Structure 1
Amino acid sequence: MIVQRRGEKAGVRANLFIAVVLAVAALTSGCDAVSSKANGVSEPLTPEQSKAQVVDAAREIVQTLKLDASAVVFRRSSCNDQHEAPFRGVVRIKYPLASSFEASGSEVEQMVQQLKSNGWGENTDFKTHASSLAKNQVVAVFNPQAKGTVNRSIELYGECRDVTTTKDSAGTTEQIDLN
């Protein structure tokens, strides 16, 4: 009977040891999963910070240009083709069409010059065929007026530093009030 009790105690200790090892492994791998998600992203942003980054820039552009925005829309966009982290905030500012393509091009040139005088610069690695400027790690792209569209737009792209958002939590578009 003494042998059985010792065997039972050894079994309990073994089970306890296994439970502790599994708990430590789960906790450690959980931390590793979070830190590996941030690999390659220095100083990650929260989803709220990535949204504020582009919404604040959109507000500045609308106020500086005294732009008659018909709609402002926010969304989160993955920075890769797999729709995985990191994500960035994106804002599209819609505004009325110009009387012609030539007039639109001229207006965009004036907008670019006005924003340059307010600290926006052309130093951007963002690849686009449209006019683009950057300030505080946000890129503003002035989409050209196109035939068949009901408005023109400026798109603002934030930094690819949101490692918390996932494909499932990215959500859809959200109307933004810049007032």
Structure 2
Amino acid sequence: MRADWLRSTQARSLLAATLGTSLLLGGAFLAVDQLHATPADALHRPGPPLSDQQSRTQAVGAARDVVSAAQLRTTTAGYLLMSCRDRDNPPYQGAVYLTFTIPADTRADVYLPAVAKALTAGGWVEGLSPGGHPYSKSMSKSQVTALIYRDDDNASLGVARIYGECRNTSDHRTDTTGWVDVTAEISG
């Protein structure tokens, strides 16, 4: 007798309306979610794909600009074409990892902000601090990002990591990877 109310026309109408509303709201949520930008959208940059050489030229050229604008004394610099998605799959970007000396008579907390100021004068724009490293700075110019910070293991060294655009769509999944020494290209 208690379940008799479920068989009434009013109860069935109420249940049908509730179910219909739930389905409608769920469908709307899925549709809106497809329109919302995600972090993965940053990998789909507009513009034509870059060749391997263009990716290298972009990253190494930006590293040369960083060294020149901030008058860094580079100790080592390496280049690598790396995946923007995961370890292997396209798109790829050129990346430069370089170390530079921090003058012996200058503390890193004074020197690295001066480096950022010199880069700003050279047309670079300072972004949010990337964190994770003492005195870290994030800079960008012409679709290239540079992260600058003090080396965690050696306080007399600074590190600059330069990343080009994620527009190289060549298939490098089977390539042997390894850093290529570009110290002479950047310092000279």
TM over 0.5: yes
- State the distance in 2 between where 1:165 and 1:74 align: 18
Picking from 74, 79, 85, the partner of 2:79 is 74
The aligned length equals 138
- State the distance in 1 between where 2:177 and 2:89 align: 13
SS in structure 2 opposite 1:172? coil
Q: State whether residues 97 and 145 of structure 1, in contact with CA within 8 Å, keep that contact through their aligned partners in structure 2.
A: no
Q: What pairs with 1:27-176 in structure 2 (closer than 5 Å)? A: 40-42=44-46, 43-97=48-102, 99=104, 103-123=107-127, 128-129=130-131, 130-148=136-154, 151-169=157-175, 171-176=177-182
Structure 1 segments unaligned to the other structure (5+ residues):
1-38
SS in structure 1 opposite 2:109? helix
- State the distance in 2 between where 1:170 and 1:86 align: 17
**CA-atom RMSD in angstroms:** 2.4
- State the distance in 1 between where 2:148 and 2:117 align: 12
How many angstroms does 1:99 deviate by? 4.5
Q: State whether residues 104 and 145 of structure 1, in contact with CA within 8 Å, keep that contact through their aligned partners in structure 2.
A: no
Q: TM (normalized to structure 2)?
A: 0.65
- State the distance in 2 between where 1:67 and 1:45 align: 28
> Which position in structure 2 is the counterpart of 1:34?
none
Q: State whether residues 121 and 133 of structure 1, in contact with CA within 8 Å, keep that contact through their aligned partners in structure 2.
A: yes
Structure 2 segments unaligned to the other structure (5+ residues):
1-42
Q: State whether residues 77 and 170 of structure 1, in contact with CA within 8 Å, keep that contact through their aligned partners in structure 2.
A: no
> Which position in structure 1 is the counterpart of 2:35?
none
- State the distance in 2 between where 1:140 and 1:116 align: 12
> Which position in structure 2 is the counterpart of 1:9?
none
- State the distance in 2 between where 1:91 and 1:83 align: 18
Q: Deviations over 1:31-72 (max 9, x none)?
A: xxxxxxxx9453110111011001001111111222110111
- State the distance in 2 between where 1:131 and 1:120 align: 12
> Which position in structure 1 is the counterpart of 2:30?
none
Matched AA of 2:51? T
